Chain A
Amino acid sequence: MELILSTLINGLSLGGIYAMIALGYTMVYGIAKMLNFAHGDIIMVGGYVIYVFMATKNPLLAVVMAVIFCVLLGIVIEKVAYKPLRGASPLAVLITAIGVSYLLQSLAQIIFGSANKMVTVYDFGSISFLGVTVQVSALVTLACTIVVMLALTLFVKCTRVGRAMIAVSEDKGAAQLMGINVNGIITITFAIGSALAALAGLFYLLKAPTISSTLGAMPGIKAFTAAVIGGIGSIPGAMLGGILLGMVECISYKITAIAPYTDAIEFSILIIILLVRPTGFLGKKRREKV
């Protein structure tokens, strides 16, 4: 019982982190129709910014700076690396994104060295509840991700810019002919995605207080997997896929016999789901016109 409850909480909180990162992938894919493989590395950059500003011993300042820095970085990457390739083949954009990813990792190594750095943002401690001991940071993460996801859903559903984002993802050309500045909408999308990635960086540091230049690589790929499982381009799909993957990961880690195969299990789930539902859970079926 205790095991189930603690696994549930840890799974939901890890799933929340994956969902936040997956949102960045899925929104950028939905609107700019590209896979931003550098997205995972924004998490790492956010982590390092927190590390730098923790010198001030002010966690709040560090987090705010991380979000601001990542938003600016996301916008710059989009303008410098992706915007000139608008209309180029998807493969060219994909390779550029991978290049940006390695660039960020290498820059981090040059600046901060290759050794892991310790950074304790804030020690929330742990609490016992119904005989279960859970890290408070897991609960904080869970609460934050829920708030962020609700806010994002409201933003997309109920605001002018959110509506324009959906219009652009539906039909970029028609949206532009209706007077929507498509480039502006893409910039906003990258800004939101990067802000979410910076927060994900914070939650990773709360979970395990070490940081290296490859911090974002694995979570990035996992979150991408989550986005695809949920149906890439779909915002609720990214949330669903993230939570699902986080739960699977935590459950698998708790079962000794299969714990070493956790990653393999997660990616196998992707393969199985894609075999059954090629568009993911909530992905749109695209009818081919004859």
Chain B
Amino acid sequence: MAENLILETRDLGISFGGLKAAQNVNIKIKKNQIYGLIGPNGAGKTTIFNLLTGVYKPTQGTFYLDGEELKGLAQDKINHKGIARTFQNIRLFNNMTVVRNVMVGLHDRPEFKCTVFETLFRLPRHFKVEKEMRAKAKELLRIFDLENDRNNLACNLPYGKQRKLEIARALATNPKLLLLDEPAAGMNPHETEDLVKTIRFIRDNFDMTILLIEHDMKFVQGLCDEVTVLNFGTVLAEGDTKTALSDPEVIKAYIGG
């Protein structure tokens, strides 16, 4: 295996009955890359995300994170191994405050583990851990400029901030690979520009590798090192962003020809 590969899928695919939602998808993502997964509506992009996070079990092929095969693990186990995601339709814990949303993400990090005994009897460690979690959550919120909203309910945040909070919550689980499902959807140009900076910041400061789905081609061109283009569940083109996007097949798939 080539060195520095964070994610490698081998002939990954799934079919629902007769419908092949994805087949023979091979993606290789190197450490610290920002990698785009693009394609027309219904091409199977979110399906790939669901396969990588354990929501669906692949019916074909397998995938490796940092050299370790993760196929078949439950969602929470895959998250512990280091894949975290956001959702196309925002799925925050709406009736919890912003800071508590992030603290849920911190839930299973080993440094914040506390035994039932310690919690029930309110031993000092319980309070220490709670305090540390709160501090860590605030630190993450600061990066996304959400610190002042920390005691608001998640559902009361404006849309752009909800998207940011989802990323903060995913980062709280300490992943090696961050999956962003249409992070710029519904954002205005100014917010999108901001998001590009934030994603770069995450890569540089968290030593992160990022795989993202996006429809905004300008966004993809400005941000992604490499892309994979999907169409009808199969790989249409892949490689360097500029080259892949100027591929006549890709243009045809998008415009319809």
Residues on A facing B (Cβ under 8 Å)? 155, 158-161, 163-164, 166-167, 170-171, 173-182, 284
Q: Cβ of B129 and Cβ of A166 under 8 Å apart?
A: no
A234 to chain B, nearest CB (A): 11
Residues on B facing A (Cβ under 8 Å)? 53, 55, 74-76, 79-80, 84-85, 87, 91-96, 100, 103-105, 107-108, 112, 114, 116, 119, 126, 129-130, 133, 169-170, 172-173
7 tightest CB-CB pairs across the interface, nearest first?
A: A179-B79, A170-B93, A176-B75, A174-B91, A167-B104, A179-B108, A179-B173
Contacts of B75 in A (CB 8 A): 173, 176-177
User: How long is the Cα–Cα vector from A175 to B129 in the complex, in angstroms?
Assistant: 20
Measured CB to CB, the nearest residue on chain A to B154 is: A170
Contacts of A182 in B (CB 8 A): 76
Given contacts A171-B91, A174-B87, contact A181 B96 (CB under 8 A): no
Contacts of A171 in B (CB 8 A): 91, 93
Q: Cβ of B170 and Cβ of A178 under 8 Å apart?
A: yes
Q: Cβ of B74 and Cβ of A163 under 8 Å apart?
A: no
B113 to chain A, nearest CB (A): 8
Contacts of B133 in A (CB 8 A): 160
Q: Cβ of A160 and Cβ of B130 under 8 Å apart?
A: yes
Given contacts A159-B119, A160-B129, contact A178 B112 (CB under 8 A): no
Partner of A176, one of B76, B130, B169, B170: B76
B120 to chain A, nearest CB (A): 8
Q: Cβ of A170 and Cβ of B76 under 8 Å apart?
A: no
Q: Cβ of A179 and Cβ of B130 under 8 Å apart?
A: no
Q: A177-B53, A178-B84, A180-B107 are known contacts; what are 11 more A-B pairs with Cβ within 8 Å?
A: A160-B103, A160-B107, A160-B112, A160-B129, A160-B130, A170-B94, A174-B92, A175-B104, A177-B85, A179-B80, A181-B108
User: How long is the Cα–Cα vector from A158 to B114 in the complex, in angstroms?
Assistant: 13
Most interface-central of A155, A175, A177, A181 (chain B CB within 10 A): A177
Measured CB to CB, the nearest residue on chain A to B106 is: A160
SS of A interface (majority): helix
User: How long is the Cα–Cα vector from A161 to B8 in the complex, in angstroms?
Assistant: 34
Q: Cβ of B107 and Cβ of A178 under 8 Å apart?
A: yes
Most interface-central of B91, B103, B107, B119 (chain A CB within 10 A): B107
Given contacts A178-B169, A180-B76, A182-B76, contact A164 B91 (CB under 8 A): no
Given contacts A158-B130, A178-B79, A179-B79, contact A163 B85 (CB under 8 A): no
Measured CB to CB, the nearest residue on chain A to B173 is: A179
User: How long is the Cα–Cα vector from A15 to B173 in the complex, in angstroms?
Assistant: 42
User: How long is the Cα–Cα vector from A160 to B100 in the complex, in angstroms?
Assistant: 10
User: How long is the Cα–Cα vector from A284 to B79 in the complex, in angstroms?
Assistant: 30
User: How long is the Cα–Cα vector from A160 to B108 in the complex, in angstroms?
Assistant: 9
Q: Cβ of A166 and Cβ of B173 under 8 Å apart?
A: no
Measured CB to CB, the nearest residue on chain B to A164 is: B107
A286 to chain B, nearest CB (A): 12
User: How long is the Cα–Cα vector from A173 to B107 in the complex, in angstroms?
Assistant: 15
A5 to chain B, nearest CB (A): 36
Contacts of A176 in B (CB 8 A): 74-76, 79
A268 to chain B, nearest CB (A): 31
A206 to chain B, nearest CB (A): 25
Given contacts A171-B91, A177-B53, A177-B79, contact A164 B104 (CB under 8 A): yes
